[in-house]
Amino acid sequence: MSRNAARPLSPHLSIWRWGPHMLVSILHRATGTANAIGGGVLFIWWLVAAASGPAAYDTFYRAATSWFGYLVAIGLTWTFFQHMFSGVRHFVLDTGAGYELKTNRTWATATIIGSLAVTLLIWGAVYARSMH
Amino acid sequence: MGTGTGIGRVRGLGSARHGGLHWWHQRLTAAGNLILVLWFVISLFRLPLHDFPTILQWMSSPFVAVGLVLMTVSVFWHLKIGLQVFIEDYVHDDALRVAALMALNFYAVGGGALAIFSILKIALLGVKG
């Protein structure tokens, strides 16, 4: 694309003061990529293992229930809910609402608090159940 | 096609043609994911165990099998569009970008096919334990 190098470009990340809306925008891409590759590959592995038989499923099951497996599962729980809450926020922004500075900041922050809270709730409940 | 400036090139290629199709599919599959993946997460949470017999038993239900197939279509379609935007924004080398987009399409279609075939095999034929 032909571009006159003398004309100014719009300022990028480095020039703005950081705010939650910028963090959430970056997190939306990062968590989406993590879900797409991490979540996608594990979902395929899980299904193919189940369709292949008990031996293949056992290999998956042992990996999934190792400490590293739980770490990945907790991580994917957070990336899913962060992407989901941020996605719901995008649906609202699509209608043209929620761009006022204060409102925008509030709901950007809410997606982070929401995703952390739901992740904590789910895995807290899983842990509590395992204690019985 | 305009005068060769950036604006001249994109003029006329907006939503009146098919420029808006990805945007719409992104939202459509996002809504699908919202319903289906939430159902999936809650279902996994509610299952008492996740061992081989429990999972097979669970997937033999038509509602579960169809739900999983629909979720696979929605999720892999959504990730195909989403990662495409990611690649187009950050991979600047032409050859590398084309290779990355091709790999992405293979992953989305191949992965989705593997998942759907596995779900159907379990639901329709069962798996010998």
Domains delineated in chain A: 20-130 (1.20.1300.10)
Does the pLDDT of residue B84 top 50, yes or no?
yes
CB atoms A57 and B117 under 8 Å: no
Q: Tokens in use for B109?
A: 């279609």
Q: Tokens in use for B91?
A: 């991979």
Residue of A nearest to B53 (CA): A54
CB atoms A2 and B51 under 8 Å: no
Write a three-state SS string for chain B.
Answer: CCCCCHHHHHCCCCCCCCCCHHHHHHHHHHHHHHHHHHHHHHHHHHCCCCCHHHHHHHHCCHHHHHHHHHHHHHHHHHHHHHHHHHHHHHCCCHHHHHHHHHHHHHHHHHHHHHHHHHHHHHHHHCCCC
B26 touches chain A (CB under 8 A): no
Distance from CA of A2 to the nearest CA of B (A): 6
- Tell me the pLDDT band of B17, cut-offs 50, 70 and 90: low
Distance from CA of B120 to the nearest CA of A (A): 9
- Tell me the pLDDT band of B8, cut-offs 50, 70 and 90: low
User: Among all chains, which residue has been given the structure tokens 């995703």?
Assistant: A115
Q: For residue range A46-86, list pLDDT tens digits in order.
A: 999 999 999 999 999 999 999 999 999 999 999 999 999 99
- Torsion angle, alpha carbons of B96, B23, A112, B39, to 10: -100
Question: What span, in angstroms and rounded, lies between the C-alpha atoms of B72 and B75?
Answer: 5
Residue A132 marked as a ligand binder: no
- Tell me the pLDDT band of A17, cut-offs 50, 70 and 90: confident
**What domains are defined for chain B?**
32-125 (1.20.1300)
Q: For residue range A84-108, list pLDDT tens digits in order.
A: 999 999 999 999 999 999 999 999 9
Does the pLDDT of residue A2 top 70, yes or no?
no
CB atoms B127 and A43 under 8 Å: no
CB atoms A88 and B34 under 8 Å: yes
